[in-house]
Structures are given as C-alpha cells and as structure tokens.
Structure 1
Amino acid sequence: MAVAVALLISWFTLVLLFDSHIRRNTEDDLIRHGRAIVSALTFSPAGFSADTYQPSDLRFDRPASGLYWQVSRGDNIIRSRSLWDNALDVPVGVDGTDWHRGTAAGPFGQDLVRVARTIQENESAEPVTLIVAADRASLIDARQEFARELAIFLTLLWATLSLAAWFQVTIGLLPLRAVQSSISELKSSPASRLSPGRFATEVTPLVDQINELADAREADLRAARDRAANLAHGLKTPLSALRAVARRVREAGQGDMADGLEQSILAASDAVDRELARARTAASLDRGPTAPAAVIERLVSVLSRTDRGERVAFEMDCPPGITLPVSADQLMEMAGPLLENAARYAASVVRVTARPRDLVIEDDGPGLGTANRERVILRGQRADERPGGHGLGLAIANDLAEATDGRLDLGTSDLGGLKARLVW
C-alpha cells in the first residue's frame, strides 16, 4: 500500500513537472518568434510594419492554425495570416522590460498560451504591443499522453516491486518458518532444544535466546514441581496422625465428630494425592509418542491381582501400531486411576480401547449420572464421599490430561457403565 501511494504521488508530481516543462518550452519558442518579429519591425510617420518578416513556422500563414502573432497600437494592428480578421486581446500591465507570459482566450474558440511585450521606437514615441500566442490544445494532448504512458509504466513498476517484495519477504522469512516449526516440536517435547546448526546464521542469536528461555522455564517449572511435591509429601505424616486422632475420637464414642474430622482429612488427602500425581507427570518432559499396549498390559497385570481386579474381566483392544502423544509415565499416571475406578465399580467387565490420539476405558457398572460428570472432575469434588469413592481418580486423570494438552470426556458406555475417554 505504501509503495502504491508513493507511486501515485510520483505520478501526480511528474505530470505537473512535465506540464510546466512543455509550457515553458512553448513560451520560449514564442519568444524566439517574437524576437524575429521585433527585428523585422519598422516604424514610419505613417505607422509601423513587419513586411520583411519571413516566418520560420508555416502555421503563421495558415488560418486558425493555432500559432499567431500581432503588433498593435490603438486601432492600428498588423497580424499574422493565421489570425485572419481576428485580433488578440491586449493584456494589461505589459511593458518593455521583459516578456510577459500568460494565458488568454483566443479566436476560433481556442485557449492560448501567449507572451507579450511593448516595443518603443524612441522615448517620445508611443509604444506598440507585440503578442505571440499558440493554442494550448497541443500542450494538453501532450500532457495527457505523457500521463497515460507514465501511469502504465508506474503500474508495471508497482507490480514488479510488489512481486519482488513478496519474493524477498517469502525468502527472508524461510529461516523464521524453520524456527517456527522447531518451536512447535519444542512445545510437544519440552525436553528438546533447537539446534543452531539447522538454521541460517541470521537467526542463530534468536535460536540461542529461545533455548536459554526454554532452559530457564524448565528450571522454574522443576523448582515449582519440587516444592509442590515436597509440600504434598510433608502433609502425608500430619494427615496420618489426624487419621489416628479421628479413630481414637470414634472409639471414644464421638462418632459425629469423627465423621466430620474424617471428611476433612479425606479432602486434604485427595488434594495431596492430586498434587503428587501432577508433580510426577509434569516432571516428565518427554511427550512420547508412546504405544499404549505395553502400559495398559502392565496396569492390568497389577490390578488383576487386587481384590477388585480379580472379580472382573479386562478386555483390551490396543493395536501395536497405535501411539499416543504422551510419555509412558504420563500415560500410566492417567490410565491408572481410570482403570482402578472402572475395576472398583464394574460388575464383570472393564474394556480398554486405544485409537490414534485417544484412549477409552469403560465398564459395566452403575455408571455416573449426567449431573455428576462435570462435578467429579472439579478440584476436591466426589460423587461418592466415601474413602475411595467416585471422583478422585477421575479428577486426577483430568488434571493430568490437561497438563499434557489433552482432555477427559465422560459419557455412558455401551456396556451400561461409565465411559472415560482421554483425547489429545
């Protein structure tokens, strides 16, 4: 846009300069004709004449040709044949010091550019006025032709400059596009870094700064995760002590007080478990990809030896070629609570299905009502307030899915129970 505006201003300026130039040249030509007329001008007691003048331009002899001259003093006028019996208006303020340039209305409906001056035989004689004029139509035609050709040229120039700028920007941004692609890889695998040798020299300082920023961010995140994990571990012992206190309170016959205390302890314990799981998952900067088959088989092997797992059948549909964009540790932290939750509530079957970018775990248990699905994945909420009840495993899995740029969707399974779907 800026180039187009600049070229438009240039076009307007050049047209004005050209118009001024050809008008000045025309006036200079008229002055040369006028000087020739002055040299041929003779004075006598009867008046004045220019009989010896031989015009160098034949248009002076052709009526209405557009080129005229006239010498006048009062009603005494001599003129070129091109004027025929017309006369030019004598301009006001003309003297003999210099040629006066200007425009005027002429005969035959023409607009004229003219030069004029006075000539005086002697100081006592009355001066005569010499006017030489030309039709402006030829100047206007020349200006319009120049403006048209210049517009075509500048349009082609604008197209050429725009194309050149597009190529320059496109080629110039190629190194930055390579950096952009690598940054996307860095996002999917935070442990990786940009290799300066892969990029043009011009963007190497930028690559170095990005790597330093990634290092600083990783260090800050690790420190924050370590503090969260240390705090969560530090709360484990006080919570165990509080459980013992709640048990003694119940044994002392104060059941209501023990129930309230145990609910508070359960909420705090849930929060600690969630933060520990988040810290363990976030500590793994690798984002895979991971084949889920081995991870699911390992989890099922462990669960099948528990009291809850022994009574259900695990069905797995995890093709070997399927991968998920998380690390094995992260997948284990997410799928583990979901499998444990499914085994706890299943009547007889838990099904695991892996597809590209999603993992589905479902059971044939009582399921979870629509009203409770969003509530159970909120921080600290349970559909079943009993220890080990519905909610904590789902909330942990949801937190970890969000931490790995995924999400947890809850629905109703074809088996009749809860369907938990991890999507990336």
Structure 2
Amino acid sequence: MRSLKARIIVSALLLVLVLVPTIGIALHKAFEQQLTDSTKEQLQAYVYSVLAVAEVDNGEPQMPPHLMENQFNLTQSGLYAVITYQTGINPSTIAWRSNSSIGIKLPSNYPTPKTGQQTFAPLNIDEIPYWIFSFTVSFEKAGNVYPITLHIIKTQTEYQQQLDEFSQTLWSWLISLMLVLLVVQLSWLWWTLKPMAAFVREIKQVEQGQTQQLSSRYPVELKVLAKQINTLLTSEKNQRSRYRNALADLAHSLKTPLAIIQSQTDLTPSSKEQVANINNIIAYQLKRAQSGAGQAWHVGFDVDDVLSKLVRTMAKLHIADAIDIQYHSAANVMFKGDKTDFSEMVGNVLDNACKAAKSQVIVSVAGDQDNCRIIVEDDGQGISQSQQQLIFQRGVRADTYQKGHGIGLAITQDLVQSYQGALTVTRSDTLGGAKFTFTFGANSPQQ
C-alpha cells in the first residue's frame, strides 16, 4: 500500500462495500421492527374484538359459537384464540378455544400477565413459529371477580413472507446501487488521479531523456511542483555545463605551461617523471570532476543505442588486430546517467579487452528499465586473482601492452562507484580470458 493511488481506491471501495451493506442491515432491522409492531397491534385488535363478545357465567367464560373474525371459525386458519383461567395449582387451564384451533396441538403452558397487562412474544408449536399475544382481564359478577387471560396465536408465515419479500427487494436494489457506486467511484477516481498519472509519466520521460521539461497542464496543486522541478532541471543543467566548461578551460590553460616545462632540455629524468605524473594527476582528477553522476539523475537513455555505436567504433580501431567483437544486445535496458560517462566507463574496459584479446571479445547486455548489467569478455590470458583488485588502483597495470599510464581502470571504477554501481573482474568461462561485469540499478551490490 505504498501507492497513494492504491490507498485512495481501496478506501473508496471500502467505503462503498461497508457503508451500503450497513445501510441495508439498518433498513432491514427497521422494517422487521415495524412489521413486528404492526403484528402486535393487529393481535391486540383481535383481543378487543374477542373480549367484546365474551361473558362469564358461573365462573366460566361463555363465548358465542362464531366470532366476527372469520379466521377464528375456519379450522387451522393460522389464527387461534384461547382463554385460560387459574384453577388451583394450574394457572393456565384452558377454558375455551376457537374453532380454528381444532386439530392443532396447542401448548400446555401459557403466559399469565397481571390483570390489565399484556405480553407479546414468539412461540413454537411443533417447530412452527407463531406469535402469541396474551391479555389478562377480570370479570366481576355478583360481587365475585373472575380473572381470565385471552391468548391470540397467529402463525408467522405471513410475517416471514413479507420480511423475505422486503429483504429480497432491498438487497437487489442495494447490490445494484453498490455496482453503480463502484463504477461512479472508480470513474471519478480515475478522472481525479489522471493528472497524477500524467505527472509520473512525464517524470519517467525526463529520467529516460525523452524530454527536458515538464508540461504545465496540471491542476493548481501540481502546477507549482512542476514549475519548481522545471526550474531545478534548468538550473542543474546550466550549472553542470558551466562547471564542465570551467574545467575544460582549466585543463587547456595548464596544458601549455606543462608542455613548455617538458620541452626544456636541461630537465633531469626525475623532473621529467614528476611533470609526467602531474599530467596524469590532472587528467585523472579532471575525469573524476567531469562525471555527471549525482547531477544527471533525471537523464536516461537506451543502452543499446550507445553501446552498439561504441562496439562498431572499437571494431574499427582494432581492425588491424583482427579482433572479432560479438555484441549480444537487449531491448529496453536503461542507464540513468550521462552518455559521456557511460561511454568512458564501458569504452575503457572494452578497449583493454580488445588489446588483451587474441582474436575474440564478447559484449553482453541484460536488465530492464531500472537495472543494467553489461559484461565484457575476452579470450586473452586473463587476470590472476591476486591482481583482480589491484588493477583498479591508479598506476597499477596488469596487461602486457605498453600503452597508457595505468589510470584508465581507476577512472572507470570511480565513475562506476559515483553511479552507485559495481565493477567486478573474474575469469570468463566462455572464452577463458578476463570477464568484466558492470552492474547498475537496484540490484547493484554494495561497494
């Protein structure tokens, strides 16, 4: 979840996926409570209609053969009426039951609320759910009080059917609403985050060297940032150019005095050697100072474009030695740095490989947009393990050809390290000579 875009999308999806079902559950509970209250009021109305025709004679309730509500008269209609009274130790002796309850196994125990009070609760009869509404009243006759409890029992079939229909309709609409909201949310997020995606894409283009500046077609929040980055890119480019020009002027100004000193005939051999060392040191330090690493962070290019030209150039330079240079290229391998530095690094190693090779050199490329690995192999005599680390020190030579001053690999190693890369040398399993491996990017080992 390091991506801001992913966080916004996930939070928006969670909002829809949590909020809508929560609303659905709340609506379902509210409807269920309303339906339960409606059922209770309905049974209470039945109680009043039954009590309106009830009488007590000799302590026992007397009811007409037929009630006004026809469901009480139809057998197993799902609506039943029962009157109980207290006799002895049994507080719920059945005194009367409606015709609709004939053939129905009624419970043996009934709730007995106090006089003038009522109860409403679910009831199971043979594992079938019912509602039971109980109400206790007292009849007074000839100075005697006769309390009875009227129970209205109704099946939950109609109740459950209405609840299921409402639930099905509710969730059908809510699921449809969730899908619509998800589409709207994703579309809205895509439209809102579109400038961010364009901003990241332009940053990538700058890194790969495809463009030099960011555009200004951004919302206010990003436009300020884009402007600051453009200012930084322009300033850094100008500063690097002035810095390199100044170094070039310095090198040029030192070259003439040193040449005059070297032309003196009265110089001792030791003095000539020191002047040569000064030349080497100036060249070495200028190469290090002119490196674009750390400054050209935004510049990138396709390795194949530069390396293929470098291989062709080396093949022409060593045409007299009959060196066969094989190049194994790879597509979409990027090097984030300066082309001049890249050519300097690989060119030094490739030139040494051509000088050390007997007849063959292989250059291989591998990697992707963020990692780059270049391997240069030759079929020469190779480099012993004792010299594999020493050759990167300034002035140390491991070759047999007498050209240069032994600082090429030292400069190369410094350039590689300035790009947080690694340069290693081993023996080539393919050709038997030396094998130099450049590694840049996230997979580069620590120096």
SS of the residue corresponding to residue 51 of structure 1 reads coil
Identify the match of residue 207 of structure 2 among 152, 173, 187.
187
Question: Which structure 2 residues correspond to residues 79-90 of structure 1 after superposition, within 5 A?
Answer: 79-84=97-102, 89-90=109-110
Identify the match of residue 176 of structure 1 among 196, 201, 220.
196
Deviations 1:190-240 (A, max 9, x none): 97111123xxx43x5325414413543774697699889989999999xx9
Which 10-residue stretch deviates more, 1-10 or 286-295?
286-295
Are 1:209 and 2:225 matched, yes or no? yes
Q: In 2, Cα distance between the equivalents of 1:341 and 1:287?
A: 26
Amino acid paired to 2:82: Q
Query: How many residues in Structure 1 have an aligned counterpart in Structure 2?
Result: 393
Are 1:92 and 2:105 matched, yes or no? no
Change in Cα spacing, 1:33 to 1:324, as seen in structure 2 (3 Å) is: closer
Change in Cα spacing, 1:107 to 1:223, as seen in structure 2 (3 Å) is: closer
Identify the match of residue 368 of structure 1 among 350, 360, 383.
383
Which 10-residue stretch deviates more, 358-367 or 156-165?
358-367
Amino acid paired to 1:119: V
Structure 1 counterpart of 2:408? 393
TM-score under structure 1 length normalisation: 0.65
Q: In 1, Cα distance between the equivalents of 2:24 and 2:332?
A: 63
Identify the match of residue 31 of structure 1 among 30, 44, 49.
44
Contact 1:222 1:283 in 2 (8 A): no
Change in Cα spacing, 1:40 to 1:296, as seen in structure 2 (3 Å) is: closer
> Which structure carries more strand by proportion?
2
Identify the match of residue 116 of structure 1 among 109, 125, 134.
134
Q: In 1, Cα distance between the equivalents of 2:417 and 2:31?
A: 69
Q: In 2, Cα distance between the equivalents of 1:216 and 1:175?
A: 21
SS of the residue corresponding to residue 272 of structure 1 reads helix
Structure 2 counterpart of 1:333? 344
Change in Cα spacing, 1:395 to 1:165, as seen in structure 2 (3 Å) is: farther
Change in Cα spacing, 1:293 to 1:63, as seen in structure 2 (3 Å) is: closer
Question: Which structure 2 residues correspond to residues 272-291 of structure 1 after superposition, within 5 A?
Answer: 272-279=285-292, 287=300
Structure 2 counterpart of 1:196? 216
Amino acid paired to 1:188: Q
Amino acid paired to 1:397: T
Contact 1:102 1:114 in 2 (8 A): yes
Which 10-residue stretch deviates more, 66-75 or 211-220?
211-220
SS of the residue corresponding to residue 196 of structure 1 reads coil
SS of the residue corresponding to residue 409 of structure 2 reads helix
SS of the residue corresponding to residue 52 of structure 2 reads helix
Deviations 1:141-175 (A, max 9, x none): 54455445545554444444444434443444333
- Return the offset for 1:184: 0.8
Q: In 1, Cα distance between the equivalents of 2:250 and 2:383?
A: 34
Amino acid paired to 2:213: R
SS of the residue corresponding to residue 77 of structure 1 reads strand
SS of the residue corresponding to residue 67 of structure 2 reads coil
Structure 1 counterpart of 2:155? 135
Q: In 2, Cα distance between the equivalents of 1:299 and 1:281?
A: 28
Structure 1 counterpart of 2:31? 18
Change in Cα spacing, 1:341 to 1:57, as seen in structure 2 (3 Å) is: same
> Which structure carries more helix by proportion?
1
Identify the match of residue 62 of structure 1 among 70, 74, 80.
74
Q: In 1, Cα distance between the equivalents of 2:51 and 2:293?
A: 108
Change in Cα spacing, 1:417 to 1:281, as seen in structure 2 (3 Å) is: farther
Q: In 2, Cα distance between the equivalents of 1:108 and 1:359?
A: 83
Q: In 1, Cα distance between the equivalents of 2:243 and 2:295?
A: 13
SS of the residue corresponding to residue 96 of structure 2 reads strand
Question: Which structure 2 residues correspond to residues 288-367 of structure 1 after superposition, within 5 A?
Answer: 329-330=340-341, 332-334=343-345, 337-338=348-349, 341=352, 345-346=355-356, 366-367=381-382
Change in Cα spacing, 1:182 to 1:407, as seen in structure 2 (3 Å) is: farther
Change in Cα spacing, 1:207 to 1:341, as seen in structure 2 (3 Å) is: farther
Contact 1:31 1:115 in 2 (8 A): yes
SS of the residue corresponding to residue 40 of structure 1 reads coil
Q: Which runs of 5+ in 2 are unaligned?
A: 1-13, 88-93, 367-371, 441-447
Structure 2 counterpart of 1:256? none
Deviations 1:102-155 (A, max 9, x none): 226576665432223233345954133222221235434544554455455544
SS of the residue corresponding to residue 112 of structure 2 reads coil
- Return the offset for 1:3: 3.4
Contact 1:61 1:80 in 2 (8 A): yes
Contact 2:129 2:156 in 1 (8 A): yes
Q: In 1, Cα distance between the equivalents of 2:297 and 2:38?
A: 83
Q: In 2, Cα distance between the equivalents of 1:109 and 1:367?
A: 92
Change in Cα spacing, 1:195 to 1:105, as seen in structure 2 (3 Å) is: closer
Q: In 1, Cα distance between the equivalents of 2:61 and 2:294?
A: 114
Which 10-residue stretch deviates more, 112-121 or 42-51?
42-51
Q: In 1, Cα distance between the equivalents of 2:137 and 2:215?
A: 88
Structure 2 counterpart of 1:255? none
TM-score under structure 2 length normalisation: 0.62
Change in Cα spacing, 1:249 to 1:279, as seen in structure 2 (3 Å) is: farther
Contact 1:363 1:415 in 2 (8 A): yes
- Return the offset for 1:69: 1.3
